[in-house]
Chain A
Amino acid sequence: MKNLVLDVNVLLDLWLQRVPEKVLFFIAELIAKGENKNYWTWVSSSSLSTLEYIARRELKKGGMEGEQAKQATHALIADLLANVRLLTQFGFQQVMALQLSNDVEDAQIVMAASNLQGSTAIVTNEKRFQTGGEVAQLSLLEVNTWLRQDENRSVEFIDLKTQQDAIRPQLEHNIHRVLAHGQYIMGPEVQELEEVLAGYVGVKHCIAASSGTDTLLIALMALGIGSGDEVITTPFTFIATGEMIALAGAKPVFVDIDPLTYNIDPNLIEAAISSRTKAIMPVSLYGQCADFDAINLIAEKYNLPVIEDGAQSFGARYKGRRSCGLSTIGSTSFFPSKPLGCYGDGGALFTNDDALAKAMREIRVHGQDRRYHHPRIGINGRMDTIQAAVLLAKMKVFEEEVTARARIGARYSEFLRDVAVTPYIAPENRSVYAQYTVQVENRDEVQQRLKEFGVPTAAHYPVPLHLQLAFSCFGSSDGSCPVSEAASNKVMSLPMHPFLTEETMSTVVRSWREAII
Chain B
Amino acid sequence: MQVEAIYHQGQIRFKRPVRFKYDDFSITVIVPEEAIAVYDEITELPASVSDAAHSMLDRIKNILGEHFHPRPEASIQQDREALFEALEEKYLR
**Which residues of A are in contact with B by a Cβ distance under 8 Å?**
8-9, 12-26, 28-29, 31-34, 50, 53-54, 56-59, 61-64, 72, 75-76, 79, 83, 125-128, 139-141, 144
Secondary structure dominating the interface of B: helix
Name the 8 nearest CB pairs between A and B, nearest first: A32-B52, A53-B86, A28-B53, A57-B86, A29-B53, A28-B56, A144-B44, A75-B63
Contact A56 B76 (CB under 8 A): no
Bound: A24/B60 CA distance, A: 11
- 13 A-B pairs (CB sep. < 8 Å): A9-B76, A14-B60, A17-B70, A18-B73, A18-B74, A29-B45, A29-B53, A33-B52, A53-B90, A56-B86, A57-B86, A139-B37, A144-B44
Bound: A510/B64 CA distance, A: 54
Contact A141 B74 (CB under 8 A): no
Which residues of chain B have C-beta atoms less than 8 A from A54's C-beta? Answer: 79, 82-83, 86
Which one of B37, B67, B68, B73 has the greatest number of beta carbons of chain A within 10 Å?
Answer: B67
Which residues of chain A have C-beta atoms less than 8 A from B79's C-beta? Answer: 8-9, 12, 54
B24 at the interface (CB under 8 A from A): no
In whole Å, how far is A82's beta carbon from the nearest beta carbon of chain B?
Answer: 9
In whole Å, how far is A145's beta carbon from the nearest beta carbon of chain B?
Answer: 8
Secondary structure dominating the interface of A: helix
**Which residues of B are in contact with A by a Cβ distance under 8 Å?**
9-10, 37, 39-42, 44-46, 49-50, 52-57, 59-60, 63-64, 67-76, 79, 82-83, 85-87, 89-90
In whole Å, how far is A40's beta carbon from the nearest beta carbon of chain B?
Answer: 14
Which residues of chain B have C-beta atoms less than 8 A from A29's C-beta? Answer: 45-46, 49-50, 52-53
Choose one: B59, B60, B73; the contact of A19 (CB below 8 Å).
B73
Which residues of chain B have C-beta atoms less than 8 A from A75's C-beta? Answer: 63
In whole Å, how far is B80's beta carbon from the nearest beta carbon of chain A?
Answer: 9
Choose one: B45, B56, B75; the contact of A32 (CB below 8 Å).
B56
Which residues of chain B have C-beta atoms less than 8 A from A26's C-beta? Answer: 42, 45
Which residues of chain A have C-beta atoms less than 8 A from B55's C-beta? Answer: 32
Bound: A125/B56 CA distance, A: 21
Which residues of chain A have C-beta atoms less than 8 A from B54's C-beta? Answer: 25, 28
Choose one: B59, B71, B85; the contact of A62 (CB below 8 Å).
B71
Which residues of chain A have C-beta atoms less than 8 A from B50's C-beta? Answer: 29, 32, 34
In whole Å, how far is B57's beta carbon from the nearest beta carbon of chain A?
Answer: 5
Which residues of chain B have C-beta atoms less than 8 A from A17's C-beta? Answer: 68-71
Contact A19 B53 (CB under 8 A): no
Which residues of chain A have C-beta atoms less than 8 A from B45's C-beta? Answer: 22, 25-26, 29
Which residues of chain B have C-beta atoms less than 8 A from A19's C-beta? Answer: 39, 73
Bound: A12/B80 CA distance, A: 12
Bound: A140/B40 CA distance, A: 11
Contact A58 B37 (CB under 8 A): no
Bound: A72/B65 CA distance, A: 10
Which residues of chain B have C-beta atoms less than 8 A from A141's C-beta? Answer: 37, 39, 41-42
Bound: A25/B61 CA distance, A: 13
In whole Å, how far is A484's beta carbon from the nearest beta carbon of chain B?
Answer: 52
In whole Å, how far is A438's beta carbon from the nearest beta carbon of chain B?
Answer: 39
In whole Å, how far is A20's beta carbon from the nearest beta carbon of chain B?
Answer: 5
Contact A18 B72 (CB under 8 A): yes
Of chain A, the residue at the smallest CB distance from B59 is: A79
Bound: A87/B59 CA distance, A: 24
